[in-house]
Structure formats: C-alpha cells, structure tokens
Structure 1
Amino acid sequence: MAESKQVFKKVVLAYSGGLDTSVIVRWLQETYNCEVVTFTADLGQGEEVEPARAKAEALGVKEIYIEDLREEFVRDFVFPMFRANAIYEGEYLLGTSIARPLIAKRLIDIANKTGADAISHGATGKGNDQVRFELGAYALKPGVHVIAPWREWDLNSRQKLLDYCEQHDIKVEKKKGKSPYSMDANLLHISYEGEVLEDPWAEAEEDMWRWSVAPEQAPDTPAELTLTYRKGDIVAIDGKEMAAHEVLEYLNKIGGAHGVGRIDIVENRYVGMKSRGCYETPGGTIMLRAHRAIESITLDREVAHLKDSLMPRYAETIYNGYWWSPERKAMQALIDDTQEPVNGDVRLKLYKGNVIVLGRRSDDSLFDEKVATFEDDAGAYDQKDAAGFIKLNALRLRIAASKGRKF
C-alpha cells in the first residue's frame, strides 16, 4: 500500500516505454495524484528510444526527457571501471551495475531542473537495481524521496499488469517473437534471466543469445586488430581514432562475430540470494584482456599487485551500488594515477570465442630486453646476486624448520 500521508507534486520516473514503466506512470498519477516526468536514456541498448515519447504523451505526461548518453556512459563510467580491470566474482564484467549510477545521476539532475520532489524506478524488490538506483540518488541528493512501486503495489505478475492496462486504457504493444527472458542491455552488455535459466542445471537455449554467434559457429579465419591506449583508455583501433562509445560499438560487433564474450554464471546478489544469469559482453571481454596486456609492460610490479589486490573490493563496490561513495572515489583516484604510463599498442587475435594477445609495445615500457634475455646480457644482470637474495628470503623458513616446525 502506498504511503498515504506522503504528498508529492511531481515525480521523475526512469521510463523505458515498456509494460512495467507504462503501468507505473498511471499508478503514480492515481496513487499520489502527482505530475509525472519521464526520463528515457539511450545507453546503446540497441533499440529505438524515441517511441517512448509518444507512449508517455498518451499517458498524459507533459515533461519528457529522452537523452543519448552513450558517450558519457562509456567515457565516464565504463572506461574508468576497466582501468581497474574490474570483474565481480571472477567472471561478471558488471554490465548492468555500471549503468545504474549514470541513470541515478540524470534522475536527480532532472528532478532538480523540474522542481520534482521525488523520483521513481521500475526495479523489483528482489533485485540489486533498486539498491543501486537508490544509493546513487541518496548520495547525490540526500533529501530526495524515492518511490519504488514494486515494493508498494500488489501487481506482482505480468497478467496483473496486463489487467491493470485494460482497466486503465493503457495501450501495450504486443511484440511478436518477444523474448521470454528478463533482459537488460546497454553498450557494455546484454543480460538474460528467468525462464529456463532459473534451473542452474538447465543449459541456456542457443536462440536466446542476441549479440554473439556460438564459438563453434564462428568463422574459421581469425580476426586481428590493434588497440591503442592512452592513460589506460583505448583511443584508436587499427590506427583509427575513435570516441569512447565508438570503440565499444566496434569491439562488440567484431567480438560477437567471433563468438567472444558469452558467460553463464550464478552470482551472489547484494540483497542476499543467488541468481543465475547469462551475459554477452564481447567488447568488454576484449578490453579486459588487452588492458591487462598493456599494463603488463608499463606498470611497476608492486603498483600492479596493489591494483590487483584492490580490484575485488572495487568490483564489489560497483556491484553493490556504491559508485558515488567516498571509498570508490578514493580507489579510483589511486587507479587513475597508476594509468599515467599505460600507453601503447596491443595486438590481438579473435578466434572462436578466444581473445589471444599477439603482442604489446609502449614507449613507456619497463620491459628491458638486456635484462630479460636468456642470451649474454653483457653484465646487465649479475646472476651471482641471486644467491644472497634467496638466502635472505629463506631465512625465516630455515629458522622455523630448525625448530622442528612443520608446514
């Protein structure tokens, strides 16, 4: 039941134009007797967002915001995350997680601009997204009110939503061949949940995947490409300079064509449950492999290891919705500082689901052939020094062993 004592004059809703958020528009209007402002973001989900305007207008919405945020999304959110090589629980490249702080930011921006006294979203009470949206909103505007209809109403099934539409004369598009899965897409990834995937033993159906071919169906001829890095970010592919979102669009296309980027995982949600999901992240998979390759020759050993030790905490921070937190900002400052020398080129081969590093080069490389060579190093490294190094590092082990300690 809604908070009957709370009065809102204007509410900004994160609006997709789909069934759920269309119902939410009318539900907000009726439950709170308020004006609704809709905000629709183009994050590269691969579908036209402009039709949301006509749907919102049909619901009586007067203030409608539809924004192309692809460049900002990749430049200011995806790229900083990939500087950290962030990956959650060893597999998930955080495609949904990293989109939420930008949406929260724009909801608050629009609320401030329009004088709205609340924001609303269509995330359910079982998922992580409600946490991400709301933590972001409260961090950016502490006094904002958040309305989460899925935690208030009793329209907890698709049929009840459809019945509500019929009762309130809400036109719903019935798409032929609509996927039965719960899906979320942006330029970084597309996710699939629900239906057969709710059984962790059941194999994902091949016709579920949208962005990539199966590795066994990928071309027999590999693709090669060279990525150019500047301060940890990709700025060119095969010598052609590109904007951040163009980089990811290109890598998604070529990666998907070669079967790169599919994963099927069971993850631990922040709200406490385990959830099985399938993800396609072709561009991100390529970016992660290439970034580690360029870092391998440009980062000092201890700096690289410090970064690696922070990464799980950084990834968990984003997954749980704390992008706008002081700890994420502090970690980001350290990470970004390490990226100053991360410049140069990485040469890759894509082949049947694999991303293979062929070479890496940089004017900032710390790789010294004179020292690393197995041939005559002309005195660049005195191998006799290794004896003392080993003895000093073995000292504690020798002392413990002499006292009869067993390991």
Structure 2
Amino acid sequence: MADVNRVVLAYSGGLDTSVILKWLEQTYGCEVVTFTADLGQGEELEPARQKALKAGVKPEHIFIEDVREEFVKDYVFPMMRANALYEGLYLLGTSIARPLIAKRQIEIAHQVGADAVSHGATGKGNDQVRFELGYYGLDPDIRVIAPWREWDLTSRTRLIAFAEEHGIDIPRDKRGEAPFSTDANLLHTSSEGKVLEDPWEETPDYVYSRTNDPESAPDTPEYITVEFEGGDAVGVNGEPLSPAALLTKLNDYGREHGIGRLDLVENRFVGMKSRGMYETPGGTILLAAHRGIEQLTLDRGAAHLKDELMPRYAELIYNGFWFSPEREMLQAAIDHSQTHVAGTVRLKLYKGRADVVGRKTDRRFNLYSQEVVTFEEDKGRYDQRDAAGFIRLNALRLRLLGERNRDA
C-alpha cells in the first residue's frame, strides 16, 4: 500500500466519501485530491470544498467543476440520438454520468501527478464497474482503490463510529437508517434500497423528488415545441438554448406535469436483480420528441436498423463500456443517421404523458409525401396496380410452404 503517493477521489462531501477520504489517508498514507462534479444534481457544492479543506486537503488539490454543458452535449445527446433505453424502459440517467466523472478523474490524476483514483461505489452495484472500466479505458496503468471492497466498515453503525472518531461531520439524516439511497444529475434522479426493496410494494409518495404526482398535475394540457438540428435538440418553443439549458427547461415542464416516473426491476451487470424508482422528466419528453422528428426524416431501413442496434448500445452504456471500440463504432453509425434529422415537434403534456401531436421539417429533410400517401388523387406517383406483383413475389415462399404442408 505504500506505493500510492497521491489519489484522486470522486468526492461528494457526503458521509461516505468523507469517511473514504480519511480512510485513504490512514490506510495508504497518501495525499488525497478531491474531484466534485456539478452534473446538475441540484445541490450546493461549495460545502464540499469546505469539508475537504477541513479534512486537510490542500486548496490547490480541491477540484469542483461545473460540467453540466459537457454532460448533456457530449454524453446525454449522443445517447438520445440512439433513443437508448435499457431493457426497453430505463433512460440510463446514472449510467451515462459515470464516464464523464471517470474521464475528469483521470485527467486530474495526470495533471497533479497522482498514481491512483478512487470512488465510493459499493461492491454490489453497477457503478463500481462503470467507474473502473472508464479508468482503465483511459489509463490502463492507473491504480484503482475501491474502499467498499477493502475496508471493514461494513455497516452504517461502523461508518458513523469511524466518522465520530475522526471528527467528521455527520448530517442528522445520516444518524438513523436511511429509508432509501438516491443519485441525481441533470438527466434524472434514481432511488433504490430499503423501502423500495420489496417489488410488490408501491413506491411511497415521499420518495419522489423530481416530479409532481401525475394525478394532481394540471387539469389543462400544455403544448410545447422542440426544435432539432442534426439529431440534437436546439430549442424549445422557438427559443434557442444550450444543451444544459434545454434539458433544464424540459425538466421544468416534466416536473409540472408529472412526466417521467419509472418503477423498474432491472438486471444489474453484476448478476442480481434490483428494484429502483427513476424520475427522468426532461429526458422522457426529449426521447418522445426525437422519435417524432425521426418519423419524418429517417429512412425506413435506417430507422429499423437503429432500433435493432439500440438495445446493444444501451446495454454497453449500462454496463460501463462507454469508452469501448464497439460503442464508438455504434455511435458513428448512429450519428451518420442523424444528418437529416431536423425540424420541429409539437408535444402535448398532460398528467404524466408526453405525446407527440405534430411534427414538421424542411423539404430538404422530409421523407413524408402527402401527395403519395393521400387517399385522394395522387397524380400518378403511386400506381396501385403495382401492389399486385409486389404481393405475389412476397407471397411466393409462403405459397410454396403451403403447398408442401397441404400435400404432406
């Protein structure tokens, strides 16, 4: 353990990472550098600086960074271009944040000459995998320290006792048994554990923090528009917005109308099933809008291929393979498909739903022809008699099968 001189810790300033900070110093005799990312979790991050200073971290070794724009532009938006859903439902809010944190930890480690990185993920969850695959993908020689897999602080009681022994502040809500754990960023809030562990029991109202109860949401629908260029949302209601500002705006609409709640029993990468509750208000609206504009602008073959690739792409993100060559290959194909995905989508927001009710695009991008699809006179662009031969050719193998089965 003596060979670790300096370690970069993913630090929130909460009880767990505050204990980890002191434990690293004691166990490894190393200097700790803290990195705290503002991912839009909605918390004041300055207390993390003060806690790190109180713990003895040098001011120049405390990194607190606003990465909201980078998070949405370089991670959330590429994922949205793929319409990614893990197991058909989960919008990957926690999964997509981990690669960015890992990347910045490695960059800071190189900047300050650290030889190790550390995180506060437990040994039962997916995040340990996501962090560490990110670390190794960016620096194959980095030393990784995962305290929850090493120490003997295996209970909340022991954790609090260690904190008391070393003068670490313990928030009042950490004194008792936490009713559930949460993770939040600009895309979503996730809650799991304790009161949520029984999959038969309905999620208590007090767990929800990001969305209003759909049943008590406004009784009048609200209509909004989302504008797209190159597959990415660029504005809401005609107002150009940066990626983070746009997602924030959609989150506000989603909160008001109770949009984006998900109760899910999922398959963790580490092998077990877990039950979680997710709130992804803006992301749910954005996904619906993106699919809406693709309906006009994406060719059938490309659209169907994307839908075939999407589960694999989503699984790679969920399992922590953001920096893998296969994710990058899929991303290149997905991004190529988005060249002509541009236009405006109108959505109706009402009591937990975000429904596409209109979409339009410039004729340069439009594959929808009202002249061809109309039930009225189509000016000869589609000869209905051609369908007979089309059907006969496609039916040939079915007729041959039918003959064989009839004569058997």
| CA distance, structure 2, for counterparts of residue 192 and residue 216 of structure 1 | 21
Q: Structure 2 length normalisation: TM-score? A: 0.97
1:333 match: secondary structure: helix
Q: Offset at 1:325?
A: 0.3
| CA distance, structure 1, for counterparts of residue 384 and residue 42 of structure 2 | 57
| CA distance, structure 1, for counterparts of residue 118 and residue 351 of structure 2 | 43
Whichever residue aligns with residue 349 of structure 1, its letter is: K
Report the equivalent of 2:401.
400
Unpaired runs of 5+ residues, structure 1, are none
| Alignment match of 1:27 (pick from 23, 29, 51) | 23
1:202 match: secondary structure: coil
| CA distance, structure 2, for counterparts of residue 294 and residue 11 of structure 1 | 46
Structure 2 contact 6–31 (Cα < 8 Å) conserved:
yes
Q: Offset at 1:195?
A: 1.4
Whichever residue aligns with residue 294 of structure 1, its letter is: I
Report the equivalent of 1:197.
196
Report the equivalent of 2:221.
222
| CA distance, structure 2, for counterparts of residue 286 and residue 405 of structure 1 | 51
Q: Offset at 1:196?
A: 1.5
Q: Offset at 1:405?
A: 6.8
**Structure 2 matches for 1:370-385, cutoff 5 A?**
370-385=371-386
1:49 and 2:48 are equivalent in the alignment: no
Report the equivalent of 1:287.
286
1:75 and 2:73 are equivalent in the alignment: yes
Whichever residue aligns with residue 20 of structure 2, its letter is: I
Over residues 31-70 of structure 1, what are the superposed CA-to-partner deviations in whole Å (9 max), with x where a residue is unaligned?
0000000000000001011110010011111110000000
Report the equivalent of 1:124.
122
| Alignment match of 2:157 (pick from 153, 159, 162) | 159
Structure 2 contact 160–175 (Cα < 8 Å) conserved:
no
Equivalences, count: 402
Quote the RMSD (CA, aligned, Å): 1.3
Report the equivalent of 2:166.
168
| Alignment match of 2:55 (pick from 54, 59, 76) | 59
Q: Offset at 1:177?
A: 11
| CA distance, structure 2, for counterparts of residue 292 and residue 317 of structure 1 | 21
Residues 9 and 405 of structure 1: CA distance in aligned 2, closer, same or farther (over 3 Å):
farther
Q: Offset at 1:191?
A: 0.4
Q: Offset at 1:356?
A: 1.4
Residues 177 and 405 of structure 1: CA distance in aligned 2, closer, same or farther (over 3 Å):
farther
Q: Offset at 1:172?
A: 2.1
Over residues 204-223 of structure 1, what are the superposed CA-to-partner deviations in whole Å (9 max), with x where a residue is unaligned?
10121001111110000111
Report the equivalent of 2:184.
185
Structure 2 contact 261–279 (Cα < 8 Å) conserved:
yes
Whichever residue aligns with residue 384 of structure 1, its letter is: R
| CA distance, structure 2, for counterparts of residue 405 and residue 118 of structure 1 | 71
Q: Structure 1 length normalisation: TM-score? A: 0.97
2:220 match: secondary structure: coil
| CA distance, structure 2, for counterparts of residue 194 and residue 7 of structure 1 | 36
Residues 114 and 399 of structure 1: CA distance in aligned 2, closer, same or farther (over 3 Å):
same
Unpaired runs of 5+ residues, structure 2, are none
Whichever residue aligns with residue 307 of structure 2, its letter is: D
Over residues 282-320 of structure 1, what are the superposed CA-to-partner deviations in whole Å (9 max), with x where a residue is unaligned?
001001111001000100100101111000000000000
1:245 and 2:221 are equivalent in the alignment: no
1:7 and 2:8 are equivalent in the alignment: no
| CA distance, structure 2, for counterparts of residue 250 and residue 122 of structure 1 | 31
| CA distance, structure 1, for counterparts of residue 307 and residue 53 of structure 2 | 49
| CA distance, structure 2, for counterparts of residue 293 and residue 109 of structure 1 | 38
Report the equivalent of 2:317.
318
| CA distance, structure 2, for counterparts of residue 142 and residue 337 of structure 1 | 30
Report the equivalent of 1:263.
262
Report the equivalent of 1:138.
136
